[in-house]
């Protein structure tokens, strides 16, 4: 990453700047000197990448929550006398499963 050579964050990498400063750079691209407009374009790229990461994390969290709800509904719907672990064909003897 290129180091900023202007402004209040002079000497810092663009990725290390505050989000508010990055937003300021994006909104003031036309005001910046032509030689400094690269920073506005790079700031927009960084903000877009962060926004994409946040959306992906929200999607994964929502998907995980929906899965937890489905599992909970399945557990509630299953009768109490059914052993969920030994449903179907198991290689464990019946005596061992009764000792649990």
Domain assignment present for 28: yes
Say yes or no to pLDDT of 98 above 80.
no
Our count of domains for the chain comes to: 1
- Specify the pLDDT at position 36: 83
pLDDT band at residue 32, thresholds of 50, 70 and 90?
confident
The pTM of this model reads 0.56
Residue 33 lies in a domain: yes
Q: What are the tens digits of pLDDT across the range 39-90?
A: 888 889 989 898 999 999 999 999 999 999 998 888 888 776 655 555 555 5
CB atoms within 10 A of CB 23: 13
Range of 88's domain? 14-99
76 falls within a domain: yes
Write the CA distances from 95 to 13, 98, 99, integer angstroms: 66, 5, 6
In a domain, 24, yes or no: yes
Residue 6 lies in a domain: no
Q: Is residue 42 part of a domain?
A: yes
The mean pLDDT of 4-19, rounded to a whole number, is 83
Considering the domain boundaries, does residue 8 fall inside one? no
Domain assignment of residue 85, yes or no: yes
């Amino acid at each position: 990453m290129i180091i900023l050579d202007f402004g209040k964050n002079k000497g810092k990498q663009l990725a290390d700047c505050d989000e508010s400063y990055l937003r300021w750079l994006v909104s003031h691209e036309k005001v910046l000197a032509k030689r400094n407009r690269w920073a506005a374009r790079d700031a927009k790229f960084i903000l877009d990448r962060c926004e994409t990461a946040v959306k992906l994390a929200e999607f994964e969290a929502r998907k995980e929550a929906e899965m937890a709800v489905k599992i909970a509904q399945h557990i509630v719907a299953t009768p109490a006398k059914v052993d969920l672990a030994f449903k179907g064909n198991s290689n464990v003897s019946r005596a061992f499963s009764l000792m649990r």
